[in-house]
Amino acid sequence: MAITIRELAQALDAQGWGDLDLPVTGAAEPQATGPVGPGGGVIALAMSPKYAEALQPGSIAILAEGMDPQALGLKAAIFAPRPRLLMAGLTRAFDPGPDLAPGIHPTAVIDPSAQIGDGAAIGPFVVIGAGVRIGSGARIGPHVSIGRGSTLRDDVLIHAGARIAPGVTAGHRLIVQSGAVIGGDGFSFVTPEESGIEEIRRTLGARDEIKQQHWMRIHSLGGVEIGDDVEIGANATIDRGTIRATRVGHGTKIDNLVMLGHNVVVGDDCLLCSQVGIAGSSRVGNRVVLAGKVGVSDNIEIGDDVIAGGASKIFTRVPAGRVILGNPAVKMETQMEIQKAMRRLPRFAQQLAKLQETVTRLLEKG
């Protein structure tokens, strides 16, 4: 695939400079590019001066606004008013997507009652259950399974080996990476008598008597509801609800290895980074960012626009707009003061030891 500098700049809503008719065949870091001829070549991503140092004269590059392509000896350039946003458009332009042939592969097993929209590409060994409805333009990779009664709307992309259980409803343009499981049973069990966990929650630590206990399954009758423009990373898991559905709002992006428990509700345009775990029945507002390894206890409410730093552990309600960090999570500025105080502890201990020695000597002298 090749487009000209002019076409790429227009597609990215950015300003071009130099020979705008040069073809661009791909993108690379500055050190992996070189001078281009009339046939064009790859464009370097050099959106800061330190990256621009590796550019070779005669190459083509994407630069930040204010950088001088002529001084760098470039043949052509595109200026990025917001570099990371331009990166989104650039990578989209050159991403070929999965290699799926149009139509339905002969090894796919599709129930006669399933409805497949126009323009679908369904790969080898896909299994689609009874009553499934899939919209137009779907791309479904090899070894995907979609359970009974699930609905996926237009332009979904399901990568190889993903599992979508019965009763899942998903919106337009859903992307599911390999190995993700949507709609597995919730981890929900109960004992005939009060369990040790329930006792500890009631007493906050005291145990009257330790008894033998047997766990009984609480079955998951709810489904999973996913909005439009959601992305779900590799090996992420979203459990179905117990009675009502587990829900993920429009535009939310879920990283690899994220776990959403049963009955969890996640709002619109959230960002859940790798190894986030949200326990059952917790509610997450809109535009919330949970960095890697954040843990959320069950039945917790997190307000809109909250940002939680990496490895934070959230045990109580978080008000809207708060930035939190730590275990247990507190306001970020409070956590920074805690960390500073902890670093001072060895010095305080030394000072206390010297003070004790001084007091002891004074007492001995009478």
Cis, bond preceding 112 (omega within 30 deg of 0)? no
Q: How far apart are the first and last CA of the chain?
A: 92
DSSP codes, 232-247: E-TT-EEEPPSSSPEE
Phi then psi for residue 92, to 5 deg, are: -65, -40
Q: Which one from 172, 214, 250, 262 is the annotated catalytic residue?
A: 262
Query: What's the CA gap between 69 and 114, in Å, rounded?
Result: 56
Query: In 3D, which of 107, 184, 178 has the Cα closest to residue 141?
Result: 178
**Half-sphere exposure (CA, 13 Å, Cβ side) for 70?**
2
Judge whether 245 and 222 are in contact, CB under 8 Å: yes
Phi then psi for residue 245, to 5 deg, are: -80, 150
Query: What's the CA gap between 357 and 335, in Å, rounded?
Result: 33
Secondary structure of 68-103 as H, E, C letters: CCCCCCCCEEEEECCHHHHHHHHHHHHCCCCCCCCE
* 262 has catalytic annotation: yes
Q: 């069990």: which residue's tokens?
A: 189
Burial of 228 (0-12, 13-18, 19+ CB in 10 A): middle
Burial of 162 (0-12, 13-18, 19+ CB in 10 A): buried
180 by DSSP, 3-state: which?
Answer: coil
Residue numbers annotated as active site: 262
